[in-house]
Every structure is written in C-alpha cells, then in structure tokens.
Structure 1
C-alpha cells in the first residue's frame, strides 16, 4: 500500500455527484445485517439496554438446554452472543442470508434451518427453553408459544412503531393511523397474551438516525426493504434527487427508529 495518501479530488458537479452516489448505493451488496458500510455516511443511536449483551447472558443460563434464534439474518448477532446451550438452532428464509448464516454459525455448532417466515415452524411442540430474535419481520406469537417448553422464554428486540417514518413519508407521502399502529407495544402485548404468553419485560426507545448522503439512503432502502416497499432507483429517482438537494443544502436527513425489548414467558 502507498505510504502517502493520494491527492483529494475536487468536488464533482452537483448532477455528477448525485449520479455517483446513487450508483454507489445501488451497487453494494445487501445480504446479512452487517451495517459497517454506513460508517461515516449514516448513524443510528443504539438502545440503552444492549441486546447482544443480554442475549449472551440468556444463552449462557444453565437452565437453557435448547435455544432457537428466529429470522437470524446473516447470523451476525447470534455469532457474537455465544457460548450456546447444548442444542442451538437458527432459522432464515432469504437465500443470500441463509448461505451467510450457515458459513458463520455452522462452525460454532449452530444448526441453521431454511424455512419460510410464516407458520408452521419445523420444530416439535415444546422443543426449546429459549426462543430469540432480533428485528423479526413478523412475529408469530402462537408459533413461538407452541415451540416453547413450559417455563420457557421468548427474548427479542423488535422494530417498533413508526420506525424511519420520516424517510418513508418523504417517498410515499403521509401514512395513515392504521400503519402507524403496526408493531405498537400495546398491540404486541395483546397478541402475546392471546397466544398464552405472559409479558415479563417490555421497553421501548425512540432513537435518532442521520443520513449524510443520498447513496446511504439508496443502500438503506435496498437493504431494509419494508421502509419503502417496492423501492427501486428508477421508480424514485426524482425523489432521490430532491433528497440529494436537501442534504446538500441543509445537512443530514434526520429520521428516528423505534426499538422494543420484549421478554415473554410460557407459564408452567
């Protein structure tokens, strides 16, 4: 590698800068839940509780003989949370993430199972003492209750209501009350209790996000696909250009994520 840095090029014309940023955000891979690409380009506050640290403690509990991580993504969070109980499984449905999770978790003794994100889960009733998930796309409470052993726990960090809605509404326009109620803690508590689970802990925090360039927005919308369903650069080029102009003139685009920590137990 060179011992001195190359000269810094001068700024591109505004239209060329837009095209280059959009192309860059559209070219980077979207598999897994590693967000290191965003370093220096976007930021998000983290919840105060430290989900991975708490997950590590729960997996290490001697009372947990078998655990299941649902919708594990690329396996990055679970990989950093060992050691694991004697039986450890994980599920994932998206093929690129499935391949990544298998490469990462299989050497650690985790069985990675391919399967759809909807019921039924390919496991017997009462198979697990602990079921976990970080940012599941959908929470199937009845299935979680079914595969938990009596006294078992579900421990997860969910995406909360109105997450990144500032960005969603920039592209889609105002979103209605029904959409804003999705993933609301009160709704999730009711769903869990209807499935026969008891909520032991539930906490929600609202966290600041900043996008420093339109390329970061493009990559985010390609990676977190439910933010703007059906997003493509071609379909939203005009809005992307408007966002680029806004960031150039005013600084980072500010949005907010919501995270909910939840622990629910199946009664004995």
Structure 2
C-alpha cells in the first residue's frame, strides 16, 4: 500500500488515547522477548503478608493489584495526572493510599515506614528509598536501561542523544552497596522488540516520548516509509531493549 494512503492510518495511531500503563492495544502487533527473570515472582519471594508496601510510579495499579497484598498496608505514588486520576478512582476506594509525587528525591512518607518498596520503570533516588525503608527492608526495582531502543530512536529522530546512556546495572548496584544495602538479586538483559506494522511503531513512539523526542508522523514520515519497506521485506522491524533488575536489602 502507498505510504501516502497509510499516512492517514498512522495519524490515527498518533492520536490514539493511552490509559494507565497498558499496551494491550498492541497485542499481536509487536513481540517482546521474554526476560530471564520474573518481576512479580521476585516480589512474592520476599513480600510477607503483613508488610507495609509501597509501589513507586504505579501507573494504573495493574501490577500492584495482581499481587493481592492487603490494601490497607499498601501505598502508591504516581506523577502523571491521567494515571493519578485513575488511581484515585480505582485504588483509593479499596483503602490503598495514593500520593502524587513529582520529585522522587522527596517522597511524602516518614522515615522507616515500609518493609518493601517496589518500582517498575520509575525514577528513584537510592538515598530516599533507604530513608523510608525499615531496617532489613527490601527494595526491588526493574528498570529500563539507558541503551533502550537507541538504534530505533537514532533512526527516527535526527541528532538523537540519550540523556541516560550510562544508566546500567553495575553502576546502580555499586550505588546501593555504597549506601550499605546488600544485593539479593541482580540481572541485566537486552531483549528484542519486534514491530509487525508501522502503526504500532507510531503508537509506541508517541507514548515513549523521552526515547523519541519531538516524534510525529509529519516530521518522521520519510523514515516511517522506510520502515514500511523493511516490514514488507522482513515481516517486522526489530528494536533492542535494555532491562535490569535489582533486589537490595537495607542494612541500616
């Protein structure tokens, strides 16, 4: 199909609403390689029934709710207004404490509040995490590393430069060790991400704006047409992601 005809479909993808942190709209249109660890299983390994739990950057609370932890022992933070509204509507009525946070160096909780803090793809400040954790409290974080989707970002965005290229496992592990955490588990992986149509790339790039700054169908049209040709030839466009995970115990 001619790119100029496809352009109208791509523009619709660009304007598609996004809610929570749910990419199920792209089911069947992309394929993400499975990680060699399971974030939820790692949490369950260390989370006790009566623990005070904080989920940083909970999104819409999708993963949190799947843990089925005692609601009144659970708190969440969220900074993005649409997600905060969703949390207020769905989590607060259950008894979960919801806090809006714009600066992860200043969390609205007292010292020594939580037995466990979890964090999936959210910023954190290691010193602040240590402050709010109880003695022997555990921090579990799965992070998007600084090399995530770099090749695709450079292809689509002229003069793209990652703001966090050096954000990686070893440096973060050393950061926690220097704060007197012991490392319970660590791993790093570079999984593939395959897109089976350009519209899925448009939808994805429009949401992940920090990796695709100033992306739009209009600005990137010629590049999108090149990707369309690659999909016609290969069946997909491949990007390489960057993930790492740390489980650390506070020894203060």
TM above 0.5: yes
Structure 2 distance, partners of 1:203, 1:85, is 30
Higher Rg: 1
Q: Deviations over 1:27-78 (max 9, x none)?
A: 221231111111121111221322123324443x14x531111011111111
Measured at CA, do residues 56 and 106 of structure 1 come closer, stay the same or move farther in structure 2, by a change above 3 Å? farther
2:182 matches 1:198: yes
Bigger drift between 32-41 and 163-172 goes to 163-172
1:130–1:148 contact (8 Å) kept in structure 2:
yes
Measured at CA, do residues 179 and 112 of structure 1 come closer, stay the same or move farther in structure 2, by a change above 3 Å? closer
Structure 2 distance, partners of 1:261, 1:108, is 29
TM-score normalised by the chain length of structure 1: 0.85
User: 23, 36, 40: which is aligned to 1:48?
Assistant: 36
- The answer for the alignment partner of 2:151 in structure 1 is 166
Q: Deviations over 1:139-159 (max 9, x none)?
A: 211111111111101012111
Bigger drift between 170-179 and 186-195 goes to 170-179
2:173–2:246 contact (8 Å) kept in structure 1:
no
Aligned residues: 252
What displacement does 1:244 show? Answer: 2.1
Q: Deviations over 1:221-261 (max 9, x none)?
A: 12222221232333322322222233233321011222212
2:11 matches 1:26: no
1:79–1:104 contact (8 Å) kept in structure 2:
no
What displacement does 1:16 show? Answer: 4.4
Show structure 2 runs of 5+ residues with no match. Answer: none
Measured at CA, do residues 199 and 139 of structure 1 come closer, stay the same or move farther in structure 2, by a change above 3 Å? same
Measured at CA, do residues 110 and 130 of structure 1 come closer, stay the same or move farther in structure 2, by a change above 3 Å? same
- The answer for the alignment partner of 1:151 in structure 2 is 136
- The answer for the alignment partner of 1:73 in structure 2 is 59
Show structure 1 runs of 5+ residues with no match. Answer: 1-12
- The answer for the alignment partner of 1:231 in structure 2 is 215
Task: Note the 1:81-96 alignment, pairs <5 A.
Answer: 81-84=67-70, 86-96=72-82
Task: Note the 1:103-182 alignment, pairs <5 A.
Answer: 103-136=89-122, 138-172=123-157, 179-181=164-166
TM-score normalised by the chain length of structure 2: 0.90
Moved over 3 A (4+): 56-59, 172-180
